[in-house]
Amino acid sequence: MINLRINDQKVSVQEGTTVLAASKKLKINIPTLCNHDDLCVAGNCRVCLVEQKGARTLIASCATPAAEGMEIHTNTLKVRNARKHIVELLLSEHRSDCTKCYKNQNCELQSLANDFAFGDHVFLDLVEDKKYNIDRSSPSFIKDDSKCIRCQRCVRTCSELQYVSAISVANKGAHQKISSFHDRPMSQVVCTNCGQCVNRCPTGALVEKTYIDQVWDAIYDPEKHVVVQTAPAVRVALGEDLGYDPGERVTGKMVNALRQLGFNSVLDTDFSADLTIMEEGTELLVRLKKALVDGDKSISLPMFTSCSPGWIKFIEHKYPEFLPNLSTCKSPQQMFGALAKTFYAKKRNIDPSKIVSVSVMPCTAKKFEADRPEMRSSGFKDVDFVLTTRELAVMIKQAGIDFRNVEEAGYDTIMGDSTGAAVIFGATGGVMEAALRTAYEIVTGREVPFGNLNITPVRGMDGVKEATIKIEGCVNAWKFLEGVELKVAIAHGLVNANKIMKMTREGKAPYHFVEIMACPGGCIGGGGQPIPTNMEIRKKRMKAIYSEDEHKLLRKSHENPDVIAIYKEFLDQPNSHKSHELLHTHYVERDNF
């Protein structure tokens, strides 16, 4: 243990603990900016400077390990003056059009300004002299360099968590900026639109592209029938933007609030998540049969899940030779979209051209996905507008809804029913667990051999998880799988996805089925989720997701009555011709820069 004193209080910490963490232990608050729990130390904003007795300079508390006998003071005159200067310097290169800014009231720089740099500023405005680029090329987010304060959280996120490095630091000195390859528009580089950078940007330099106004316009258009679907992970995080602590389930309140906003029908992506299990599970079993029984060499294994649009774009850019390994299933959002303007329209007897299909997603990449040209199999744009969890919270606030006192309500019928298997799609390992619950039962006629259906080996926050399930006692139709050890793997965060892909490229991935989610923790940690998102919060949301599952009466996708009904009335059977037309897709190779 290391013993030191901070503001004259003794504290003992493990070796390697930073001065910042040691201060936290004493409940001494030191302001930070470039620091983020998910990322490596940068030490570049200098907001967290403190005074160390005997040191020539102030030290960055986030970047300095505690040392034996250190004497630290966090609020000396020297520290205060330097900190005020630093915050003012940051403000002098930041376009402070706060009242117009999407991040107003939710901006870390603004709150530092409130605390340390109120009143007149000493320094000159540097923004007016410079030409800044505002990149609106991506359908998912906007990159506004005039608000960037070069903390490099986005750069670290993109390289450390996502292994993408679509953005990095360019130039030096006054010209230093966060840039893409050859300054190309963000829509023309390797960016996966995952939005993890958006989630970590402390200012308004990276924000999602919002479609709130378009959705309001549709709601108020009497000609339009507006349907909304809500992704599994939204219900366990939305509360955070509306005054609840992380980990609170607000499903029923959210449904009621959506109805109050004026959506004509409030439906659930969980329905199409169950449908995904039917389609993807069948696809896997067919691939296994072709590979194991028929000896078909053209079958690509392992099969990768295809629910996460950030992951899809990643593999399209970085490992295009493995596109045949991707499940051809569309994501639940897009399955829902295709059915909303076909099956749903027919059932409700509504002209599909009058339907506006809106989704609420924990994700910014979903905005890009909805815009893909492949996603028009209904004959229309299958999903018209994608809102993030954060945007929905804004709409609820705009409508003046007292969320805390909204009564709980249930989803509408037709594509509103779901099972616990679908809701866990929102956490890493969830798709795998849901698929196993159904596939195992189809093949053996029995439930998965795990207590209370909880397949714990595929759960948790490990970056790469592996599991093996021995298939025994198969029903006649699946006898060929008797004794097969089904090997599965799960990765979340693209840096972990890359590990699996590297193994696959080297021929060292012995798996049959792999679930990959672009974001750390899966969708619960998505780029469109409330800010902040960090490990502690992800764990709380994950707990809430599994609790939502436990509280469901039905917990296996193939038992979803709406799913059973749609096959009977419309799709015939999983992987049918009709399914392929509406629910499956293909992928494109993209440049790796």
Please identify every residue annotated as catalytic. Answer: 280, 283, 307, 327, 366, 369, 374, 523
Give residue 68's identity as a one-letter amino acid code.
Answer: E
**Would you call 500 helix, strand, or coil by DSSP?**
helix
The one-character DSSP state at 341 is I
In the complex, what is the shortest distance from the CB of residue 114 to another protein, in angstroms, rounded to a whole number? Answer: 18
284 φ, ψ (degrees, to nearest 5): -65, -45
Cα 433 to its chain centre, rounded Å, is: 19
Q: How is the beta sheet containing 134-135 ordered, strand by strand?
A: 134-135, 141-144, 206-208
C-beta separation of 592 from 318 below 8 A: yes
Nearer to another protein, 93 or 550 (CB): 93
Q: How far apart are CA 22 and CA 27, in angstroms?
A: 9
Report the residue number, 18 or 333, with the smaller CB distance to another protein: 18
Minimum distance, C-beta of residue 464 to another protein, in the bound complex (Å): 25
Q: Return residues touching another protein (CB under 8 A).
A: 41, 43-47, 49, 56-58, 60, 63-65, 78, 81-82, 85-86, 89-90, 92-93, 122-124, 126, 129, 149-150, 152, 168-169, 171-176
The CB-of-47 to another protein minimum distance in angstroms stands at: 8
Q: How far apart are CA 370 and CA 221, in angstroms?
A: 22
Of 492, 498, 421, 503, nearest in space to 460 by CA: 492
- The CB-of-289 to another protein minimum distance in angstroms stands at 48
- 30-to-24, 201, 533 alpha-carbon distances in Å: 8, 19, 20
Residue (120 or 245) nearer to another protein, CB: 120
3-state secondary structure of 522: coil
The residue whose two tokens read 């389609």 is 279
Contact 328, 586 (CB under 8 A): yes
- 74: Cβ contacts below 8 Å, ≥ 6 apart: 6, 7, 23, 28, 30, 50, 51, 61
Q: Choose between 42 and 363: whose C-beta lies nearer to another protein.
A: 42
User: In whole angstroms, how close is the CB of 454 to another protein at the nearest point?
Assistant: 42
Shortest Cβ 426–another protein spacing (Å): 37
CB 423 within 8 A of CB 545: yes
**DSSP one-letter code for 119:** S
In terms of Cα–Cα distance, which of 454, 475, 436 is closest to 558? 436
List the one residue out of 366, 285, 283 whose CA is nearest residue 327: 283
3-state secondary structure 156-221: HHHHHHCCCCCCEEECCHHHCEEECHHHCCHHHCCCCCCCHHHHHCCCCCEEECCCHHHHHHHHHC
